[in-house]
Structure 1
C-alpha cells in the first residue's frame, strides 16, 4: 500500500479527454479530483525520455504547485513499423493545437512513407504517477496491444482512439463509450484500456482493491 490520499487529488492535466477518463475512474473510490488546468497551474516542459520520466515530472510539478497529492498520466501510441513512434511524442504529432485529426493523418502518412503493410501492429502505454508535495512518488504502468485501422472509425473521438483496434476486439476505442472503454472488471481481470489497466494497479496499491 502507498500512502493514503487525503483531501483533494489534483489530476495533472490540461487535457479535457484525459481528465474525463480519470474522473470516471476516481469517482468509484469517492476521490474528489480537480485538474491542474482548473487550478491555473502551468504545464511543465516534458523533458523526459520515457513515459515514466514525463509522468513523474508532471506529477511532482502539480503536487508542489498545489500543495496536494497529484496524479499524472503520460501515455502514447507506439507503432511497431515506425520504431515505436510517435511514443512519448504522441501529442506533439498532433501539432501545437493538439488536433489529433492531424496526428492520426501524420501516423498514416508515416506508415505510407515507410512502406509498411497492414496489419499495423501497435500498442498504447500509460504510466500513472502519484506524487506528494514532499517529493514521494509511486508509478504504475498499463499497456494494451492491437493494430491500427484506416480510415478512422468511431465518433467518440479522443486522441488516436479512432484508429486503434484492441487485440481480439471488433471495435476501435473510438467506437466505444467512455464507460465501456474504462470499465474495471469486478473479478480483477485486466481492464480494456491502457489507462484503466494502469489505474487498476494504482487502485490496488492505494485502496487495496
Structure 2
C-alpha cells in the first residue's frame, strides 16, 4: 500500500519540480522540492505505523554552515533528514541522479554526487565541492559509512566529514537513528514502531585534528546507537 502512493506522487511531483525548480533561488527551491518529504513521512505513518521521535534539536545551529554525519541503515533517513536539516547539500552516489524524473529533480538540490569507483577522485571532489557549499552557508549531510549497513552492524566509517569540518572550521554534528529496525535497507517490508533520532552536541573543530573530531563523533554515535538498540 505504501508504494501505491509513493510512486505516483513521486512521478507527478518530480515533473512539477523540473518545471518550477530552475526558476527559484536555491533556498526557496529546497523548500519547494522537499515538500514531498513531508508526504513520505506522513504516508509511512498511515500505511505502516512508522513514527518518529527526535531528541537534541537544540544542538542544530540556527544559522551558518556545519557538517552533519549520520549512520546509514535504510532509505528512511534519506527522506526524513531533508526535513530535519533545512536547507542542506547531501553527499550521495552519482547513480541516483540518473533515475528519470526523480534523479533529475534531485540534481536541482545541489548534491555532491560522487563516483564511488574513483575513490581518490571522489575524496578530492568531496573536499572541493563540500568547502564551496559550506562557504555558501549551506549545511552538509554525509553518511560516512558510504552505503546502507544493516541494523546491528557498525561498518566502516570514512573521515571525509571530519576533514571537511576541520578544513572549513565549522562545527560537526553527529546524528544517530535506528530506522533499520523498522525499514530494513533494500527491503520492501516495513515494521510498525517509532524511529528514534538523536542529535548530538556540536563538536567544535577549532584547533583539533581530523582524527580527534572523527573519534569524538564516532564514539558518541556508537554509544547512542547501542542505546537505541540498533547496534550490538
Normalised-by-shorter TM-score class: 0.3 to 0.5
Structure showing the higher strand proportion among its residues? 1
Structure showing the higher helix proportion among its residues? 2
If the length of structure 1 is used for normalisation, what is the TM-score? 0.32
Q: Which has the higher contact order (CA 8 A, sep 6+)?
A: 2
If the length of structure 2 is used for normalisation, what is the TM-score? 0.30
